[in-house]
Chains A and B, each alone.
Chain A
Amino acid sequence: MTGETELATPTVSTLEHPPTDLIDRVVERLHGVLRPDQILTGKTDRYNRARVPAPFPVHRWRERVPDLAVLPESTEEVAAVVRIANELKCPVVPRDGGTGLTDGAVPLRGGIVVDVKRMNRIHELDLENRTVTVGTGINMLKLNEVLGRHGLIYPDDPASYPCSLVGGRIGTSGWSLIGARYGHTRDLVLSFDFVLPTGEILHVGDGIGRKISKSSSGYQLKHLFMGHQGTLGIATKATLKLYPKPEAELSPFWAFDDYDAAYRFTGALARAGVATFAGAVLFDEWKVAYLRRDDEAYIPQPADVRALTCAVLYGWEDEVRVGGKRLFRIAKEHGARYLGDEISEGDWAARHDRYATPLHGRTKSGQVVPMSWHCEDAAVNYTDVPAVTKAWHEIVADLRRRTDVFDDWGMFAYTSADTGVDYLTEIDVGIWEQRLDDAAWAMWVQAKRDIAAAALAHGGSISACHGSCREGEVDLVPRELGRGFDVMLGVKRMLDPNNIMNPGKYLLDFAYQGDVSAQLDELRGIR
């Protein structure tokens, strides 16, 4: 597989930033619509809004620094900023928590970062209809602290739960750990106010409703304005669906001495049709070996623990108990070994917050090195999970044979739906960022293409969760979407006539380049 995805020249380019006199004019005009403390031009303010978690060569960090950042406090202020940017043709990049893993919030062409974090108010809590309307700068953890007092929860639960925010979840159309029970961001966000690249304000939902969960009126625009990585505009105020805060949680972990048995068991759990089932996770042999390096739960495990499955249930206590017993029955039939209450409960609680991953890297000789975490993901059907797992490990093994900059930290497969149809598969890769020179970066970008190609070759999608607009995998998006990608270009051109909204992402520059069918054919492998 490795190196097979030969494509035209790399297509994510960091073109020139706007000239200084344009930025001066932008700043001058912004003073007409914002207070001075909402306009940030200082070096620290700008550098703080350039960094994202996905590793990138340190010597190139300065390419991605915005010229300024703004902190709007209302939809109208966002619209006023965007109108000025559109008139003066200055790039705008929406940014929320900055935890995205596909570089969506990274300014590739400088310009204005619109940081929506000050729009973090709870505008309305509707206890009767079970909705809450919030500014998109609010964080789910903080929101749930308030909702918990009313016995409610907003169950969008990424592994970045403490630090990603509602607007970023809309921008990525995120994936939730407990989505098999409660749905993912697209199901949980009912509607939102949205600022288009021209500065016009639009309300997007099912039909025109604010609190409608199902409408058949007109085109279904809500999906279009989610998951676009900030390339179509900025969500400012969102109405979210609420559930009763679960009375009970159950999160058993089981061990197996081989991957195949754990895989079969995971499938059986997901297909069992238990109503309180919120998700199952399969840990492969590489993941278990990695956890044995320095995770207190796994270091003491006997050597024949080679693969794991975990299941999670949420709901009323009586329902969870009954559902849980059914899953334990299935466990017995599959010869699964329960790992014990301490690990089961502790490890699950730690899954909501996977930020603490320093110093897990090892050189081939076993020495500890400081590596940053990166994760490549895909959406893959159950029956294809083993083949994709094998292909991805081969790709990363090839990188590691060539250099100590990369380290295979193993794979997970998580249920996306309550029927077990498809899984978020993810491979975690340690990257020694200080040693990530141009040659190593080129190797990594090629590996990312190969990883995406393997998912597509098995009928999957390049991403279930993070998006696919980062250098490498983005080159395969026209192949994945086919004619749909041409529709994307048409939509972009129509809504963003000056290409100011997060330019350089998702190959959308093609929308402004006349007839690009030859380039697209090349990317699609039709030459």
Chain B
Amino acid sequence: MSYRYSDENTPPPARKASEVAQTTFEHVYEVDPRLMQTHVLQQVFPNWDTLRIMHARHDHLEWMHHHFAHTTISGSELMGDTTT
């Protein structure tokens, strides 16, 4: 986390991700701000908070996997070997 206010409040430049969404950090997507102008306004998040939310989500999903099973087998491991 940067200690400068301006650094924390300047996300990477947004790139269009689809007709209705844009992306800033890798894996971070936002609704296109044009769609949040009437009923709900888009909020400004400091970068550290945006990244915290994203990482917390990943931690949560990781926790769920371990809660239900000891290991997760990935599909890509099995895909190449569908003969037996």
Contact = CB atoms under 8 A, between A and B. Distances in A.
B50 to A, nearest CB: 12
Contacts of B65: 249, 345, 349
Given A250-B72, A368-B39, A292 B61 contact: no
Contacts of A349: 60-62, 64-65
Contacts of A402: none
B39 to A, nearest CB: 5
B40 interface: yes
A171 B73 CA distance: 35
B63 to A, nearest CB: 8
B21 interface: yes
A328 B21 CA distance: 32
A369 interface: yes
Given A321-B78, A328-B75, A353-B64, A368 B69 contact: no
Highest count of chain B CB atoms <10 Å: which of A338, A345, A370 = A345
B14 interface: no
Contact of A368 (B27, B31, B67, B78): B31
B82 interface: yes
A294 B71 contact: no
Interface string B21-63: 1010001110100011111100000000000000000101110
6 contacts: A314-B68, A325-B81, A325-B84, A328-B78, A346-B58, A353-B64
A324 B37 CA distance: 46
B20 A293 contact: yes
B69 A340 contact: no
Nearest to A155: B68
Given A294-B29, A314-B69, A325-B84, A369 B39 contact: yes
Interface stretch (A16-24, A240-248, A377-385, A497-505): A240-248
A299 interface: yes
Interface in A297-330: 299-300, 314, 317, 320-322, 324-325, 328-329
A366 interface: yes
B61 to A, nearest CB: 4
A324 B73 contact: yes
Contact of B76 (A153, A325, A341, A368): A341
A352 interface: yes
Interface in A359-401: 359, 362-363, 366-370
A104 B84 CA distance: 49
**What DSSP secondary structure best describes chain A's contact surface?**
mixed
B73 A321 contact: yes
Contact of A338 (B58, B70, B75): B75
A367 B37 contact: yes
Nearest to B64: A349
A324 B69 contact: no
A329 B29 CA distance: 34
Contacts of B68: 153, 157, 245-246, 249, 314, 352
Interface residues of A, number: 48
Contacts of A341: 74-76
B47 to A, nearest CB: 17
A296 interface: yes
Contact of B39 (A350, A352, A367): A367
Contacts of B71: 247-249, 317
A322 B21 CA distance: 39
A141 B67 contact: yes
A294 B18 CA distance: 10
A320 B62 CA distance: 19
A17 B36 CA distance: 42
B78 to A, nearest CB: 5
Contacts of B78: 250, 321, 324-325, 328
Contacts of B23: 299
Nearest to A249: B69
A458 interface: no
Highest count of chain A CB atoms <10 Å: which of B70, B76, B78, B81 = B78
Given A247-B69, A345-B61, A350-B61, 14 more contacts: A148-B67, A249-B69, A249-B72, A250-B72, A294-B21, A317-B73, A325-B81, A328-B79, A338-B76, A345-B65, A349-B61, A352-B64, A366-B35, A367-B36
A419 interface: no
A46 B58 CA distance: 36
Contacts of A43: none
B70 to A, nearest CB: 5
A463 interface: no
Nearest to B17: A299
Given A153-B68, A299-B29, A359-B40, A252 B75 contact: yes
Contact of A247 (B29, B38, B40, B70): B70
B3 to A, nearest CB: 29
